[in-house]
Amino acid sequence: MKNARFSSLGVLLVLPLGLLLFLFISCTGGDTPEMQAMKTELKQIQDERAMIAKNLAAFDTLDYTVFSNQQWSRFHESHAQDIKVYWPDGRMTEGLEVHIEDLKALFVHAPDTRIKEHPIRIGSGKYTAVTGVFEGTFTKPMPIGNGEFIQPTGKAFKMPMATIGVWENGVMTAEHLFWDNQTYMKQIGLAK
């Protein structure tokens, strides 16, 4: 009789455990094609978000450290050698060395030029967009060609700017720069 009770008790324990094990295996084993597709899509989204976060972090370093401190030898960390740069005045330049020379010119008359904040930072796929605060002081003569200069006014500028970057393999292949040149000229005392 003792064995009969044990058998009944064993069956009562084993059956629910077996049923639970069966349900667990059927729920977790053998993903459906739909489940696999969802997992693949989730992985792609996670990878894209990680890439965007990395590109935005590179953008912060570019503006806050590399650009603001004129560390020209580090521009290759965020810019392709054949980068295309679209400037606020409508021109387009091509090549990292040309871009660096253009940026150096911003510091000739305003050596304290800097970007130290990005109030808005967004990204989607291979694109990033940031707004920033572009600031400095017109304290040195500004070359205007033919050996002529505009003497410094000592006036500061502080204005919004935006940059849209197109990224491939961790560097920008295109950079679109936006700021208001008229506001810039007014703030440094060269326009009304």
153 CB-contact burial (10 Å; exposed 0-12 / middle 13-18 / buried 19+): middle
pLDDT in tens, 57-81: 999 999 999 999 999 999 999 999 9
- Enumerate the β-bridge partners of residue 174: 84, 166
> Is 75 within 8 Å of 95 (Cβ atoms)?
no
pLDDT in tens, 152-167: 999 999 999 999 999 9
3-class state of residue 191 by DSSP: coil
Portion of the chain with pLDDT greater than 70, in percent: 84
How many whole angstroms separate alpha carbon 165 and alpha carbon 55?
9
CA torsion, ordered 104, 107, 111, 114, to nearest 10 deg: -90
Q: Please give the single-letter amino acid code of residue 180.
A: D
Query: Of the candidates 135, 138, 72, which has an alpha carbon nearest to the alpha carbon of residue 101?
Result: 72
Q: Name all domains of the chain by residue range, CATH numbers in brackets.
A: 36-187 (3.10.450.50)
Which residues, other chains included, contact 151 with Cβ-Cβ below 8 Å and sequence gap of 6+? 141
Give start and end residues of each alpha helix (H) in the chain.
2-28, 33-61, 96-108, 181-187
Mean pLDDT of the chain: 90
pTM for the complete prediction? 0.79
Note the pLDDT of residue 104: 98
How many whole angstroms separate alpha carbon 157 and alpha carbon 113?
9
> Is 154 within 8 Å of 140 (Cβ atoms)?
no
